A and B are shown apart, each in its own frame.
Chain A
């Protein structure tokens, strides 16, 4: 272990003395305070803090990722190129210990830099409301919608039920001879499933959309539930405003009549612009003792249009489930796991690639990670045609790619004050750890077999 540590110390000192790390640190030291002053967001104090923390965390993550890639690709490949490795591998150190040491050195560097900068961002974030002398309602909004960590409830449509219904309907149509002859069975069923999904999150004039959730566990019934939604209209009204009434509570009680209701149902008439995200609060006491919660949107006939909630981000219920500090620490942990992954990636690649090629590959990994959803999506489409080939060749490779977008985009959690759940945190870090381990073992094997002093004629 002392040998691993000696190598780690050496590569850490190399990064510090060769000024790579210093340049990145200076960039952040200069940029972060400037951003804390200049970021405005949507003009409100909340928007300002959101845009600061978004750019701050994003920039730190980006710069540290690039720094990690450069340092980790450099540390081993430069030793090989400049032949210092001759005097190192001929000492009583196993080659895997050397690789571990190199990775460890970069990780220590990351740990240090990430700790410093995440602390700076955290304290600046806490200072912004104080310096702007925010009071009253604005402060409440901040505390409820930013300086907190909220769990999110989203609807997953039961695909199986929809398909079963579509199947029944198909059989019914075939019996009654109403089938469209120009389409095959699968096409008809797909259409009906889509129509079913559509009907479940859209409401015709004077129609309703119902969302139901189980296992809702707010920490305190005096807390609030945050209903967050976005809708579109099939024929947008001239002023773009949609009138609706929201009912939040235990929907099952309706059949018992108003006198026998145990938990309150909150009724909120609202008027909102289409195609923008809105949020309103209701007390958490709306949740039934068994954790059941229903939310109903009633489409006022006055709108005279169908209201559609997009499937992706149309509807969500948030409730307070943790503190801002803990959530921030979790976000930073995720960023750190990502940096460790890049450290392993860079060192493993440079066991058989030179510096420029290793950096190029690592950057490719980085950017595919940023648009992972898009890539996986495009391959999945191809996959239906050549599924067997895809499954055994491309899919494992895609699995190896890291994911940093969608659910893995950490600054989005912080901006929306959304709780990073423990299970998700462990899963995300675990997945990265497994991928890193695969890369590390590959690096060990390649490096152990490599002819260090090979001359290419």
Chain B
């Protein structure tokens, strides 16, 4: 049984977990009458401080803990049923891996647990090792890996079955900013491919960027729940982001705003520390500084980086790509939200190409034509009969060229 479009992928009914002491006396109410519904193709974030019951919820959903009361339905059934767990990818809060296995053997082991045949396993392992930047360290025991490197293998492990539902417990903990960026790109990309992601996090900036729906937990209870835009939209302010403007344009805008009775402040937008950091590391890599850690190919542009994630997924995934309506809607809303006047709407349109955090927007623009031209479908077909990587790389290069020409 699988969840169809529009159905809930995860549904809990008064899910409660009370931890008892040795004598069976109730001690800690970790989760209290939880009712959440995760829709198909949603990126659902469970947010909350430490000890608010996020991990306990995930453990109950996965059958690692038994609920004291209530019920959880995952993909239309019990997650302990092998037919259902075959569609779930799980990344625990820490990477609990076998230290004596090397990276390749680890992924092979998990591939075997999913009953994948050796050709599929090999193709997917190569793709995943590439993706997490550990292809060069495939034969090193996990025990010698740093926490972040182990985390990357943990993530690869969660993706080996091309899951329909991805459950990530603190996905970015222990990762460097590049790894964090990759995971976020990956989550966005997976959502675009129709996957559902449930993640828990206390790193709010990360959650804000990728989640479209969040539940904020405290003391085992959901305090607030809703879509990110709904929750975060400030009804009393408007933000305009543009290229550097001439003094005359600024003066004009100022006049319009003051005429309308609003307050006005002007300053150059700050670059995010994350994008700054990635720039620096990219420069260092171009000078070919050696490292013994994870090697992330940071592509020359953000678009190429996103394309790389997308490419790995192509090698992994066998799902159809749906054009992302969500962001288009979001843009439309921004436009509507503005007070009035043609000038502003024009400015807003211009700005959409130069906002301080252009990654997702750009990725969408650049990926959409690609998704329509059918190249990806070819790649997807090839995934079922894994083949030479060089050909796929050639195609990737071709894509990049085409983009440049455009």
Contacts and interface: CB of A to CB of B under 8 A. Distances in A.
B113 interface: yes
B96 A457 contact: no
Interface of A: 2-3, 5-7, 9-10, 13-14, 17-18, 82-94, 451-457
A3 B65 contact: no
A14 B98 CA distance: 8
B162 to A, nearest CB: 13
Interface stretch (B18-26, B130-138, B266-274, B356-364): B18-26
Interface stretch (B77-85, B296-304, B394-402): B77-85
Given A2-B115, A6-B109, A87-B90, A454 B98 contact: no
28 contacts: A2-B112, A2-B115, A6-B112, A6-B113, A9-B109, A9-B112, A14-B98, A83-B92, A83-B94, A83-B96, A85-B96, A86-B62, A86-B96, A87-B90, A87-B97, A88-B113, A90-B62, A90-B63, A90-B85, A92-B82, A92-B83, A93-B82, A93-B113, A451-B65, A451-B66, A452-B65, A453-B64, A457-B27
A114 B211 CA distance: 56
Contacts of B218: none
Contacts of B28: 457
Nearest to A17: B100
Given A10-B98, A91-B85, A455-B19, A3 B112 contact: yes
Nearest to B117: A2
B2 to A, nearest CB: 14
A457 B83 contact: no
Contacts of A9: 109, 112
Contacts of A84: 96-98
B101 interface: yes
A84 B92 CA distance: 9
Contacts of B161: 91
Nearest to B100: A17
Given A6-B113, A91-B114, A92-B86, A457 B66 contact: no
Contacts of B59: 453
B64 A452 contact: yes
Contacts of B63: 89-90
Contacts of A454: 65
Contacts of A14: 98, 100
Interface in B1-56: 19-22, 27-28
Q: Which 10 A-B pairs have the closest CB atoms?
A: A6-B112, A92-B82, A453-B64, A91-B113, A92-B86, A83-B96, A17-B100, A92-B85, A84-B96, A457-B27
A453 B83 CA distance: 22
B92 A87 contact: yes
B90 A90 contact: yes
A10 B109 contact: yes
Given A92-B82, A92-B85, A457-B21, A87 B96 contact: yes
A89 B112 contact: no
Chain B contact-residue range equals 35 or more
Contacts of B201: none
B145 interface: no
A3 B161 CA distance: 14
Given A9-B112, A90-B62, A93-B113, 16 more contacts: A2-B112, A2-B115, A3-B115, A10-B101, A13-B101, A83-B96, A84-B97, A87-B110, A90-B63, A90-B64, A90-B90, A91-B110, A91-B113, A92-B114, A451-B64, A451-B65
A457 B109 contact: no
Contacts of A3: 112-113, 115
Contacts of B66: 451
A457 B19 CA distance: 7
Nearest to A83: B96
Nearest to A85: B96
Contact of B112 (A5, A13, A17, A90): A5
A8 B85 CA distance: 21
A177 B79 CA distance: 84
Contacts of B90: 86-87, 90
A3 B114 CA distance: 7
A453 B79 contact: no
Nearest to A7: B113
Nearest to A15: B100
A89 B83 contact: no
B157 interface: yes
B29 to A, nearest CB: 12
A204 to B, nearest CB: 70
Contacts of A93: 82, 113
Point out which of B27, B64, B88 has the most chain A C-beta atoms below 10 A from its C-beta: B64
Contacts of A82: 96
Nearest to B91: A87
A441 to B, nearest CB: 19
B88 A90 contact: yes
Given A86-B90, A92-B83, A457-B21, A13 B100 contact: yes
Interface string B104-119: 0100011011110000
Nearest to B97: A84
Contacts of B92: 83, 86-87
Contacts of A90: 62-64, 79, 85, 88, 90
A130 to B, nearest CB: 43
Contacts of A457: 19-21, 27-28
A423 B154 CA distance: 52
A17 B142 CA distance: 13
Contacts of B101: 10, 13
B73 to A, nearest CB: 16
A82 B109 CA distance: 17
Contacts of A18: 100
A90 B161 CA distance: 12
Contacts of B154: 87
A452 B66 CA distance: 9
A83 B90 CA distance: 13
Interface in B111-160: 112-115, 154, 157
Nearest to B167: A90
B1 to A, nearest CB: 14
A400 B151 CA distance: 45
